[in-house]
Amino acid sequence: MMTSDAEEAFLESARAAFRHDPGIGALGALGVWDLLDEFADREARAATFAMFRAHGRELGRSAALACFMAHLYVAGDGFASGSVAVAMPRRSARRGDVLLLVGEPSMKHVLVDRPGLGAGFVSIDDVELQPVTVPGRLILHELTFAPEDLTVEIPEARAKTARQRSAFLGRIAAAFEILGAAEGALDLALEHASTREQFGQPIGKFQAVRHLLAWARTDCAAVLEASRQAAALDTAAPSRFDEVVKALAGRNGRRVCERALQVLGGIGFTAEQDHHHFHSRVLALDAVLGTSAELARGLGAWLREGRTDPGFPRALLHRGGRA
């Protein structure tokens, strides 16, 4: 595994890159597109996922996740890096199936995958983008297009493999980005706890406050280690480990934001304070690629119906034994 020092170093440079350019250009500056060509290499994966953590931490505007997921369909097809992004399907409780574009619409084409039929592309100029106006440094669009504008160019047989790979790695990437955003919220709360004084002392001296922050840090540690293990295992990951990692990130990420908000108090609930930017990001990423609630229910049913032993400990030992 990439040493945590090397990972930390890459995380820091990725953060600096996004502070300089919060858009998709930062991925080129970081050499991320080249890393994707070496994805069999564990360190390349670790660096790529550290980039997603940095994107969350710095509230990046880019469609990095959607472009990364599209890359897994079109690698080698001659598309310029970052020029295609997946439209993420989700089910609206009110309007049924909708397509969501997460991040700045800087791409040329949108990839739409129709399980059972295959995947195709629509020019960004041929889609209607309806902004989702949630507050926060977060760019979301719902997307519609005329059906005749989509022609299937990736046949189902190939799309099926890409779909699984894209969902697997997309969930891990989303977990890292959720982690970064949750860490951003926690950092705000830590800073506040050290400086805000009440009863003549910093509120971080009160155990009630300290323990909220310690729980938040523990929830982050769980997401970090689980996501790292998933990234290291990659194709050797046990069944549904990506779903576990994504659900854990969504659940814990929300809890971290909630605890941070409690520590920040009223100021944390203002538009002026950054907490809500991080919180909105966590909520948005928890809502795509399977919400934590949906994934947890699915995982529970999987265990109950199949009496399946998930075999997570054994899978990690198997990898460790070979390393």
Q: Can you give the binding site for other proteins, defined by CB under 8 A?
A: 190, 193-194, 201-202, 204-205, 207, 210-211, 213-215, 217-218, 221-222, 225-226, 228-229, 241, 244-245, 247-248, 251, 293, 295-301, 303-304, 307, 309-310, 312-314, 316-318, 320-322
Residue 45's Cβ-side half-sphere holds a number of Cα atoms within 13 Å equal to 18
Instruction: Give the whole-angstrom CA distance, residue 66 versus residue 217.
Output: 28
Please identify, using beta-carbon distances, which residue of 62 and 229 lies nearer to other proteins: 229
Taking the complex as a whole, the smallest distance from the CB of residue 293 to other proteins amounts, in Å, to 7
Please identify, using beta-carbon distances, which residue of 122 and 237 lies nearer to other proteins: 237
Q: Report H helices in 287-322.
A: 292-306, 312-322
Please identify, using beta-carbon distances, which residue of 64 and 185 lies nearer to other proteins: 185
φ/ψ region of 41 (left if φ > 0, alpha if ψ in -120 to 50, else beta) reads beta
Taking the complex as a whole, the smallest distance from the CB of residue 157 to other proteins amounts, in Å, to 32
Residues 6+ apart with CB under 8 A from 69: 85, 86, 88, 166, 167, 169, 170, 173
Taking the complex as a whole, the smallest distance from the CB of residue 205 to other proteins amounts, in Å, to 5
Contact yes or no for 209/86 (Cβ under 8 A)? no
DSSP bridge pairs for 120: 112, 152
Please identify, using beta-carbon distances, which residue of 9 and 222 lies nearer to other proteins: 222
Q: Could you tell me which of 285, 303, 322 has the C-alpha nearest to residue 53? A: 285
Instruction: Give the whole-angstrom CA distance, residue 129 versus residue 259.
Output: 35
Angle between helices 275-286 and 42-57 in degrees, nearest 10: 130
Taking the complex as a whole, the smallest distance from the CB of residue 244 to other proteins amounts, in Å, to 5
Please identify, using beta-carbon distances, which residue of 85 and 212 lies nearer to other proteins: 212
Taking the complex as a whole, the smallest distance from the CB of residue 4 to other proteins amounts, in Å, to 9
Taking the complex as a whole, the smallest distance from the CB of residue 19 to other proteins amounts, in Å, to 24
Please identify, using beta-carbon distances, which residue of 146 and 221 lies nearer to other proteins: 221
Q: Could you tell me which of 118, 103, 128, 123 has the C-alpha nearest to residue 27? A: 103
Taking the complex as a whole, the smallest distance from the CB of residue 219 to other proteins amounts, in Å, to 9
Please identify, using beta-carbon distances, which residue of 114 and 210 lies nearer to other proteins: 210
